[in-house]
Structure 1
């Protein structure tokens, strides 16, 4: 699978630096989106031309299928699909106007909003289910989440929904966040690290979950359980400027994505056809994937719950009102 570069594992990670944030905010104030200074321009075909950024995950098969099945074109959209980096690293491509609509995890979107970037939520995409697992070494004495006290736990980003989930579940058990040593580590490095004892526990999302299972690691439970069950993980975001200038385009995009998600829900054969086309996932892995759960509706209450937990655990420095970020 194509994986974006990531910095080495570390105990603490930082917000975007003040200079970087200032540059992005200034850019957002003075730069139009990839489309035009006014409304989204129509191409020679009469379709609205937009650039859509997506990280090549199983979960983003929604946009690939929407394109290949003709749902975007039927909705009047000529979409140029562009693979991006994951998480917060992709937000600058949205703010600069390289892409008009972007797939991102909600934590990165909310962090961008807190930092003053003009982001607007367009559509949901995936909700955490059993496609996110917690794994330990095959011979580990850790059998369930309650056993992780005092252990090291690898997540792909300390400022991500994984941190929120771990802390919420610890609190539910009467434990403090400090009772676990969270370590930041790229997804591809996690399985080897837990196998050789560098860390005790890892979070694996598909396709890494299937790869970990095939390598003999032990799955001890879902990453999102208890107070973190069914948390929205990723969705589609644009800029305020684009949303204000192109409401019809966004409505058409939402409709196309909903049709695509309906086709994909629980359809393993369709995933097996699609996913190897835009990722580097081996067919042997693709055949055993645990499919994502798709939901294109923006669950504002669930997102607000996540935003409140982000503030509680110090990922954000103050309250965020999610409803203010939703495209009307």
Structure 2
């Protein structure tokens, strides 16, 4: 399904309305993320949530790649999630928000123009490199995602991207997710809920501390890709800021592209884990046991189209007000079109 439609025409849905209210408040408190056209300013304030998967950003900073591309990048620690960082960009406290495509689309649908300038990492397309799993009891009759029809599925949050992804995996496996009961639980309670029989399956990051009594039926994130590269998280700016700082935005993308090339070189693996450990607080040993999402800076546009289809089917974003993705994504960041 092509997503090159009309520009946003209004707000649809409670989650979009709530995000829009946050963004309107932020806009009233700041400068809208633009300094009025100071295109010669080489400084960029970039939000970071402290995730270990933000390694391209840290590598580019620590290895001087941003400086090599003429940028003075300041990393700004942020709490909350992608909608919080978007609000910070709208309010002017950061220039670049670390966020996800769905949250960018929600903001645009709420009336806040944003531009995606670089991807940080994508969905894993290989089950062997899966970063998430769907855990059932060892003796469960659930063998695959299509078996989840009529079952109770636990997530850390319902009604969002995680639910849409699991529902997409059920559809991709030939099932119908409409009869699934979705339950939100704290992350620390997910596996115990499966073992106790409170829920039939729990979607959780990999690896888990113990697989005793549990079985993984597969990764919903991997299944929904169908082998197509899809962006998972990355960086966006207010469109006003982007339009007055396009040279800096492209330099940011180029630096992350170079970082990705170096990080994907096995010769740099040990140093990569050292840099990750120094920023996200995990030990090198733990990081080596943790699957990594594929690192990329560009946006595979067919993959983004596929991802948006999943979000629409899961009612995370509204189809009738979808932005033109070829406008939402900066031209230099687009690939595969």
TM-score under structure 1 length normalisation: 0.82
How many residues were matched structurally? Answer: 307
* Alignment gaps of 5+ in structure 2: 1-12, 332-337
Match of 2:315 in 1: 314
Tell me whether 1:224 sits opposite 2:224 in the alignment: no
Shift of 1:295: 1.7
Give the distance between the partners of 1:266 and 1:183, measured in 2 at CA. Answer: 40
Shift of 1:289: 1.3
Give the distance between the partners of 1:90 and 1:151, measured in 2 at CA. Answer: 35
Tell me whether 1:111 sits opposite 2:94 in the alignment: no
Name which structure has the greater RCO, CA cutoff 8 Å, separation 6+.
2
Tell me whether 1:158 sits opposite 2:161 in the alignment: no
Check the 8 A contact 2:260/2:296 in 1, yes or no.
Answer: yes
Check the 8 A contact 1:33/1:98 in 2, yes or no.
Answer: no
Match of 2:65 in 1: 71
Match of 2:172 in 1: 172
Shift of 1:70: 0.4
Check the 8 A contact 1:25/1:116 in 2, yes or no.
Answer: no
Structure 1 runs of 4+ aligned residues shifted over 6 Å read none
Give the distance between the partners of 2:188 and 2:105, measured in 1 at CA. Answer: 25
Give the distance between the partners of 2:123 and 2:69, measured in 1 at CA. Answer: 28
1:76-87 superposed matches below 5 A: 76-84=70-78, 85-87=80-82
Match of 2:85 in 1: 90
* Structure 1 residues 132 and 23, CA gap change in structure 2 (3 angstroms): closer
* Structure 1 residues 270 and 196, CA gap change in structure 2 (3 angstroms): farther
* Structure 1 residues 285 and 257, CA gap change in structure 2 (3 angstroms): same
Check the 8 A contact 1:87/1:105 in 2, yes or no.
Answer: yes
Check the 8 A contact 1:165/1:228 in 2, yes or no.
Answer: no
* Structure 1 residues 135 and 311, CA gap change in structure 2 (3 angstroms): closer
Shift of 1:266: 6.2
Give the distance between the partners of 1:125 and 1:218, measured in 2 at CA. Answer: 30
Aligned CA RMSD, in angstroms, stands at: 2.8
Secondary structure of 2:199's aligned partner: coil
Check the 8 A contact 1:28/1:118 in 2, yes or no.
Answer: no
Match of 1:261 in 2: 260
